[in-house]
Structure 1
Amino acid sequence: METLADTLQELLAAQHWDELKTFLSQKNPIDLAGVLPSLPATECALCFRLLEKPKAVEVFESLEIDDQQTLLAGFRDEQVRDLVEHMSPDDRAYLLDELPARVAKRLLRMLSPSERQATSLLLGYKENTAGRIMTPEYISLKTYLRVSESLHKIRKIGLDKETVYYCYVIDEQRKLLGMISLKDLVLADPEGRIGDLMHREVVAVHTDDDQEVVAHAMKKYDLLAIPVVDREDRLVGIVTHDDVMDILEEEATEDIYRLGAVAAPEQSYFKAKIFTVATHRVGWLLVLLLTNTLTGSIIMDQNTLLQSVVALAAFVPLLIGSGGNIGSQTSTVMVRGLALQEVTFSNAFLMLLREVGIGLILGSLLGAMVVIWAYWLQGDWLVALVVGCSLVVISTIATFFGGLLPLIFVRIGIDPAVVSAPFISTMVDVLGVFTYFQIARLIIFR
């Protein structure tokens, strides 16, 4: 089956420009955004020029930020201005935010006064806040308007707005009074007043709220868009569901990188330069490497014990590996629980106690099996008992710290995803080896 990319390349090679233009006009902008960057730069730019302006803007907004920059570099100033001018303010602000300062200022100067003002407004808010990701393109109504008048207004200006599914009711000072859906407007009496039909209890966020707070609010209340108000409760913009999808993907990607002890690169990981990726990963690995030297130091300090019972050394990898895995599992579920707000400070103690209980059960089950396995391997019941008891204690310690550290990090204002699986594993390695040899001394040399 011929793919979209294959068809594009065939039409480009044959130089059938009219046919190519027709073909591009029939395709979904999202699909085109996924294919065009894979073409050579000149062919990608050529396809882009054949698109109608509204569709070209849609495709451009759907591209990855580094693909947008590459495409802009190949356009003349006039083409760049037309493209950026017609972007939605929030997407434009994101683009300018990622561009070098000199380039961003040049593009900003190209915009019309109204679009420049809208973009500058968004760029004035802190990164990763509701104010930075919102769009000022929303529909507002007044309480005294009739339904028929409101629908007429929507028909007149709706095409230039981000969404018309929700209309927001404001007063003369732009303070948010209520909200009415397009469905309610269509089904209402044409002579009805907006003030009588609007929903007065509106879920809203503030301009300085973190973007994750916005995403959680929209998910919790199942909204397609959420209004953003300033410190005086004046409506200044809305955040739409497509922006929230981008936020959730961005935050999930960031957390996954951190859980793997990888510092997220500024651009796409697989498009970043190899040396850049290596420098982002080496930091945590050096920390973990230095920490692991403590494990080696503890083992060296037990030289006399190991010479007396050589079989003890054989089970060190088993114990620290099992403890690290259990601790990593606990930290993962706790970080996820905090992200979904299933774990809060009001129930944190119970959740931690629950995880410790799980660790004790896991350690007991695995420990019982390991005792038999250890005896079968080396034939000494005392060594087997040391291994089994150590696994119970190490599993409990691992779940305790795997559950506690994310809570501590949240309390001091650090992303709990920093408590990555490798970090927990390394810490449990040190504590596990120390615990193992202490238990061995108690049981074998009591």
Structure 2
Amino acid sequence: MPASLPDYSRQELRNLVRIQLQSLLEEGDFRGAKAILVPVQSADIAEAIEGLPEAMQAIAFRLLSKTEAIEVYEYLDSTIQQALIEEFKRQEVIDIVDQMSPDDRARLFDELPAKVVSRLLEQLSPEERRATALLLGYEAGTAGRIMTPEYIALKETFTVAQTLERIRSLSPVTETIYYLYVTDTARRLTGILSLRDLVTAQPHQTTGEIMIRDVVFVHTDTDQEEVARLIQRYDFLAVPVVDREQRLVGIITVDDVIDIIEQEATEDIYALAGVQADGDNYFQTNLVTVARRRVVWLLVLLLTNTATGSIIKSQESLLSRLAVLAAFIPLLVGTGGNVGAQSSTVVIRGLHTDEIRTLGAVQIVFREGIAGLILGTMLGTLATLWAYWLQGNLSVAIAVGASLLAISVLASVAGSTLPFIFRSLNLDPALMSAPFITTAVDVLGVLIYFNIARLVLGM
């Protein structure tokens, strides 16, 4: 319990700041509103502004000093960043955008209309324009697109004393000083040096003597999810990015990776539910757009599930003789869908985290099939007893239990197989698996149930 207290208290503080800020703005007490923001962290100020009514957001932002505004702007949601751009005078926007980190600026430009981006690029300083154009030139979702070119590069001949002096001069304009990168005359990455190793070395030693030459790095075209896994695996604070000629072009820091993990997790969760995600904040998106994104797979399921209705209709003779069979259809297909969803979820998660790299697809499917058999045995036994208690018909109870066993195995195998199939076809396993598993289990489950019922009942 004590461990959760600081988080709870900080959330309470953020809510208090937002409430007081809104109250002061409503009263027109701008001096008081500005005063309460002075001791507040930039990220918390951004959250407070996001919680204000839309008309007050620009007013609150204008209360910040230029330095504070630049820091707070980077933490704001992209929709609010765009709204502020439209609200501000042109030069105010340029001053803020020009001082942003190149990677944060590139992320903002990805969200803006092309005309606005062109206008802003023209007004940036030449150095910042080149840095931003470099990042925007790489494909979205790659290391090159999310890296920052703000790092400290050294030469092997630098002494410790010279390196410390270089850090002092460059620290205001670099992303991080905890890792220092050593390059040759052609800017090729040759080594890495941690700040810890630097400050514990002797002043006369050179970076070439104390640096680590076996450097872990990524290329500009490396997928951002692979970058996140790499930083997680080695507990890095940052990872260097090189081009095809092994020249150092940027670094990716752990705070950027946290954003990537959140973004990818959100996309996967939406995809598992059959909801299309375009990177926008779902709860700030127009409801018509929300409905349009969600209706796609719902229409697919609506059309494909007509097959289930056709199968049930084809069994009218069986149902007319023993109508009680229809009462257990929802139980069977619902349980099958849940079992399939569980299998697909663990497999998709394993594919994304690379946890199943050492296991082959066949072994994974076999393992899930055995799990389905065990689950089906337990659930089928309970379903048999439940059906017999409800109806008092042993044959119907056995048909329900046996069907649930078969459907559980089918759902487990389908749920673990489909993600591998879709990935081999270069389709998103998360987006494609859930709707297909639901449809397959519904259609095949009903078929299995009626055929087993006919066999057990001798009809």
- Give TM class, smaller chain: over 0.9
Aligned residue among 111, 125, 128 for 1:98 = 111
Whether the aligned pair in 2 keeps the contact of 1:335 and 1:416 (CA below 8 Å) is yes
Structure-to-structure mapping, 1:78-117, within 5 angstroms: 78-117=91-130
Q: In the alignment, which residue of structure 2 is the partner of 1:318?
A: 331
- Residue by residue, what CA displacement relative to the aligned partner does 1:373-424 show, whole Å, maximum 9, x if unpaired? 1122222211111111111110000000000001111222222112443442
Alpha-carbon distance in structure 2 between the residues aligned to 1:135 and 1:37: 26
C-alpha displacement at 1:312, in angstroms? 1.3
Does 2:413 align with 1:400? yes
C-alpha displacement at 1:13, in angstroms? 4.0
Return the TM-score normalized by structure 2. 0.94
Q: In the alignment, which residue of structure 1 is the partner of 2:65?
A: 52
C-alpha displacement at 1:60, in angstroms? 0.2
Q: In the alignment, which residue of structure 1 is the partner of 2:154?
A: 141
Higher mean C-alpha deviation, range 406-415 or range 57-66: 406-415
Q: In the alignment, which residue of structure 1 is the partner of 2:249?
A: 236
C-alpha displacement at 1:45, in angstroms? 2.3
Does 2:191 align with 1:194? no
Q: In the alignment, which residue of structure 2 is the partner of 1:302?
A: 315
C-alpha displacement at 1:348, in angstroms? 2.4
Q: In the alignment, which residue of structure 1 is the partner of 2:427?
A: 414
Does 2:307 align with 1:283? no
Does 2:165 align with 1:152? yes
C-alpha displacement at 1:304, in angstroms? 1.3
C-alpha displacement at 1:156, in angstroms? 0.5
Does 2:257 align with 1:256? no
- Would the alpha carbon gap of residues 14 and 314 (structure 1) be closer, same or farther in structure 2, given more than 3 Å must change? closer
Alpha-carbon distance in structure 2 between the residues aligned to 1:375 and 1:203: 63
Whether the aligned pair in 2 keeps the contact of 1:260 and 1:420 (CA below 8 Å) is no
> Structure 2 counterpart of 1:96, which letter?
F
> Structure 1 counterpart of 2:397, which letter?
A
Alpha-carbon distance in structure 2 between the residues aligned to 1:261 and 1:10: 41
- Would the alpha carbon gap of residues 212 and 322 (structure 1) be closer, same or farther in structure 2, given more than 3 Å must change? same
C-alpha displacement at 1:11, in angstroms? 3.2
Alpha-carbon distance in structure 2 between the residues aligned to 1:265 and 1:131: 20
Whether the aligned pair in 1 keeps the contact of 2:368 and 2:413 (CA below 8 Å) is yes
Aligned residue among 442, 450, 456 for 1:429 = 442
C-alpha displacement at 1:134, in angstroms? 0.4
Alpha-carbon distance in structure 2 between the residues aligned to 1:381 and 1:9: 68
Kindly tell me the number of residue pairs found equivalent between the two proteins. 446
Aligned residue among 169, 177, 189 for 1:176 = 189
Q: In the alignment, which residue of structure 1 is the partner of 2:224?
A: 211
Alpha-carbon distance in structure 2 between the residues aligned to 1:359 and 1:16: 64
Alpha-carbon distance in structure 1 between the residues aligned to 2:27 and 2:269: 44
Does 2:343 align with 1:337? no
Higher mean C-alpha deviation, range 75-84 or range 375-384: 375-384
Does 2:286 align with 1:273? yes
> Structure 1 counterpart of 2:194, which letter?
S
Whether the aligned pair in 1 keeps the contact of 2:415 and 2:433 (CA below 8 Å) is no
C-alpha displacement at 1:14, in angstroms? 4.5
Whether the aligned pair in 1 keeps the contact of 2:151 and 2:251 (CA below 8 Å) is yes
Higher mean C-alpha deviation, range 421-430 or range 384-393: 421-430
Unmatched 5+ stretches in structure 1: none
Alpha-carbon distance in structure 2 between the residues aligned to 1:38 and 1:108: 30
C-alpha displacement at 1:444, in angstroms? 1.5
Alpha-carbon distance in structure 1 between the residues aligned to 2:437 and 2:386: 26
Higher mean C-alpha deviation, range 144-153 or range 378-387: 378-387
Whether the aligned pair in 1 keeps the contact of 2:50 and 2:77 (CA below 8 Å) is no
C-alpha displacement at 1:41, in angstroms? 4.5
Alpha-carbon distance in structure 2 between the residues aligned to 1:42 and 1:328: 44
C-alpha displacement at 1:178, in angstroms? 0.8
- Secondary structure at the aligned position of 2:305 is classed as helix
- Would the alpha carbon gap of residues 171 and 70 (structure 1) be closer, same or farther in structure 2, given more than 3 Å must change? same
C-alpha displacement at 1:366, in angstroms? 1.1
Aligned residue among 39, 52, 55 for 1:26 = 39
> Structure 2 counterpart of 1:49, which letter?
R
Does 2:399 align with 1:377? no
Alpha carbon RMSD of aligned pairs, Å?
Answer: 1.5
Alpha-carbon distance in structure 1 between the residues aligned to 2:32 and 2:340: 59
Alpha-carbon distance in structure 1 between the residues aligned to 2:179 and 2:358: 35
C-alpha displacement at 1:5, in angstroms? 1.5
Whether the aligned pair in 1 keeps the contact of 2:237 and 2:253 (CA below 8 Å) is yes
> Structure 2 counterpart of 1:117, which letter?
R
